[in-house]
Chain A
Amino acid sequence: MPLRVGEKNFENRIHTGLEDAFMRGAVRSAQERLRTRKQESSEELGDWEAWRDLGEEIRTHTLNHLDYYLEQLSDKVAELGGHVFFAQTAEEANDYVRKVAEEKEAQKIVKSKSMVTEEIGLNDVLEDDGREVVETDLGEYILQIDDHDPPSHIVAPALHKNREQIRDVFRDKKGYENSESTEELTRFAREQLRQEFLEADLGITGCNFAVAESGSISLVTNEGNARLVTALPKTQVTVMSMERIVPTWEELDVLVSLLCRSAVGQKLTSYITGLTGPKGEEDVDGPEEFHLVIVDNGRSEILGTQFQSALHCIRCAACVNVCPVYRHVGGHAYGSIYNGPIGAVLTPLLDGYEDNKDLPYASSLCAACTEACPVKIPLHEHLIAHRQIITEKENLGPLPEKWAMKMFGSGTSSPRLYRLASKQAHRAMRPWTKGSNIPNGPGPLKAWTNIRDLPAPASQRFRDWFANRDREDKS
């Protein structure tokens, strides 16, 4: 499944989202739970702002020296006998993994949750070669067996589905016969997947953070599937996007702590697994062969630009969980596997403006995202910067808007013109005024008054009152 998913047209996607009453209920209650939990667990620390500052400083430093840390990482991995492949593009990454699978004659491949493999569309490539690829994260598993329904949240991919829908998917696709209780559904998935783990020839994981100093990768999960994927198959392939790296284990601590609290309000998730190279010579479990694929796929174009801090993202979804726009339209409306505020920032950077020019406008700029981000990415400022590029560089802004803004520019820079226009407003709007409101405005005001009344411009502006008062005072 590549970066862009679902229906092409933004308006249609919004419409579908807003019409989906169940999804909206699900998102609302999920958001409420997640943000309360995050709130509590970050308040508990007492000095959350200091933690955020530290997170930001670590990410900034690491991204500023990314080549150095990636070099160190790859040297360490190779020293331990692991193989490292640097992939500039999605194709290069996919081709490499495909070759490894071929060499190992892998029939069955188990995967733990990974955004970057979704982004590069790895599953399709492997499946086209006739291999069976099994997603083992519960949410991903549900989506996969439901004919590859796209994920709608970067941490909880099946957030848009309720238990009845999941029961039906299990029944139709896997012959499930029990109830819609979450315990029974989960138990069923456990039983179905256990066998897959034991039979798999190849395990594929993402990487939450690589640790440069020791050539380690870390996986943060609750379900334990990533542990199975990396303990049982004889070959392990880890696909990481190039920015997901920390200098040492000490920084791993900080970022993992920020991630767990921000993503799910836990102090630590059930499992944080640090893996260093293939298994030791005498070790029994763990992979005999380890491949690390480091993916660029457009990220380096963001380095050195005003958007560099977008690469600081640790994919915790805290910004998604506080976003009022996401709350109403849901994840699919973004048309990208990266949704919510970070999706609106990242998708145009990775996929260009042409098809994503609406995304940066899907925000009221309330800055709740910026406030929530554990590594202090100024998300709403990035959205404004995108808008600037769309209107002033790419020239993709609608024409009437461009004219309106031109007039705005000349109007506001000429006090005389401005005063005149605002003085006329009361009289000009009189034909549409009912009482003190305008319920049905003309022309461009329609978009406003379709939904809410517009107050009628006051007959005496503030500045008139002030001027009169001044005059009276003086006389």
Chain B
Amino acid sequence: MPRGNIQHRENFLNHIAEQSGRPRSQHVERPAWKQQPQWQVFKHESSDKWVERFKKQCEHIHTDVIETETAGVGETVAETIGRYQAASLMMWEDPRLEEAGLNKHFREQMANLGVETHIWDKSKGRENINIAEQTHVGITYSDITLAESGTVVLFSSADKGRAVSLLPETYIAIIPQSSIVPRMSQATQQIHQRVQNGETIPSCINFISGPSNSADIEMSLVVGVHGPVKATYILINDQ
């Protein structure tokens, strides 16, 4: 992509420096912050304890957690789809999903049950969005999972569309236990390191904690607004 335009920058920034009573800042080192309580959260706990905390937090965010062994992922997802009485699903084009058990066999099983399966296909362009809009269930894999807030972190890409976790009414995240870290700090630290290493980070990173909701009417909570109305996390015991 060609470099974008920057307009009216110099005057704007010079004015800021002037108002601040100093010349333009040439180089600024981010200081070592005096207090860093974020690293203390759950620091001395075992990863089992993080898993427990994660499950507990999901109760507060209206999200079902279903645990399964590595071998049973396909089965568990199939059951969940059945429970939602869904007629269609869409998932990322993601080898990790395939490996986890959402493979050919799973798709056949779905077909036998009359559930249409769509895989995000970048060659189809925006057609994917229309499919996602019409589909009942969206399935993605969690890149990083946060114990404290019951959050899945999703790195989008050409094969991992933003719409899959957004447009279908029901959202299912496949979460290996080994992806669980204490809190957002560990995830943003990883992203920060990627930036520092000069990598390009995904154009969209989502931190998703349960289904969409709103309390805009009389501060009373309604689950399910513009995003998914229901969310289920499939937690894989891979440790």
Chain A positions within 8 Å of B, measured between CB atoms, are: 26, 29-30, 33-34, 45, 47, 50-51, 53-54, 57-58, 61, 64-71, 74-75, 77-88, 92, 96, 136-139, 142, 156-159, 161-163, 166, 182-183, 185-187, 189-190, 193-194, 197-198, 213-214, 216, 222-225, 227-228, 230-232, 242, 247-254, 256-257, 264, 266-286, 290, 294, 296, 300-301, 303-304
Contact = CB atoms under 8 A, between A and B. Distances in A.
**Smallest CB-CB A-B distances: 6 pairs:** A224-B227, A81-B1, A68-B25, A282-B158, A139-B216, A224-B212
Contact of A231 (B26, B166, B205): B166
B34 interface: yes
Contacts of A290: 4
B15 interface: yes
Given A68-B25, A81-B3, A278-B203, A286 B162 contact: yes
Contacts of A227: 162, 166, 206, 226-227
A136 B226 contact: yes
Nearest to A248: B192
A67 B16 contact: yes
Contacts of B148: 267
A224 B149 CA distance: 17
B188 A223 contact: no
A186 B19 CA distance: 46
Given A83-B5, A284-B126, A247 B30 contact: yes
Identify the interface centre among B2, B6, B156, B211: most chain A CB within 10 Å of its CB. Answer: B6
A15 B162 CA distance: 48
A216 B201 contact: yes
A296 B12 contact: yes
B80 to A, nearest CB: 20
Contact of B157 (A183, A224, A280, A303): A280
Contacts of B150: 267
A253 B38 contact: yes
A79 B157 CA distance: 19
Contact of B120 (A82, A163, A185, A284): A284
B21 interface: yes
B71 interface: no
Contacts of A66: 16, 20
Given A136-B226, A190-B225, A275 B203 contact: yes
A349 B2 CA distance: 40
A200 to B, nearest CB: 12
A276 B202 contact: yes
Contacts of A85: 7-8
Given A78-B5, A253-B188, A70 B226 contact: no
Contact of A88 (B5, B15, B162, B185): B15
Contacts of B151: 268
Given A83-B5, A156-B219, 18 more contacts: A51-B37, A66-B20, A68-B25, A86-B9, A138-B214, A222-B213, A222-B225, A230-B204, A231-B204, A250-B192, A268-B149, A268-B207, A270-B212, A271-B208, A275-B204, A280-B157, A284-B125, A304-B19
B74 interface: no
B189 interface: yes
Nearest to A136: B226
A222 B214 contact: yes
A30 B13 contact: no
B192 A163 contact: no
Interface residues of B, number: 93
A159 B217 CA distance: 7
Given A29-B219, A138-B217, A190 B224 contact: yes
Contacts of B57: 267
B28 A68 contact: yes
A189 B208 contact: no
B5 to A, nearest CB: 5
Contact of A47 (B40, B126, B146): B40
Nearest to A92: B8
A90 to B, nearest CB: 14
A67 to B, nearest CB: 4
Nearest to B205: A274
A81 to B, nearest CB: 3
Given A45-B41, A257-B38, A222 B161 contact: no
B9 to A, nearest CB: 5
Nearest to B8: A86
Contacts of B219: 29-30, 33-34, 156, 159
B184 A257 contact: yes
Contacts of B33: 54, 57-58
A250 B185 contact: yes
A271 B12 contact: no
Interface string B108-127: 00000000000010101110
17 contacts: A54-B38, A65-B28, A67-B17, A86-B11, A222-B213, A231-B163, A249-B188, A266-B149, A270-B210, A271-B209, A276-B202, A277-B1, A280-B158, A283-B156, A285-B163, A301-B19, A304-B21
A162 B151 CA distance: 32
A446 B128 CA distance: 72
Contact of A182 (B9, B120, B157, B218): B218
Interface string B168-212: 000000000000000111011101100110001111111111111
A89 to B, nearest CB: 11
Interface in B126-156: 126, 128-129, 133, 146, 148-151, 156
B62 to A, nearest CB: 10
B195 A270 contact: no
B154 to A, nearest CB: 10
B215 A156 contact: yes
A294 B13 CA distance: 11
B96 interface: no
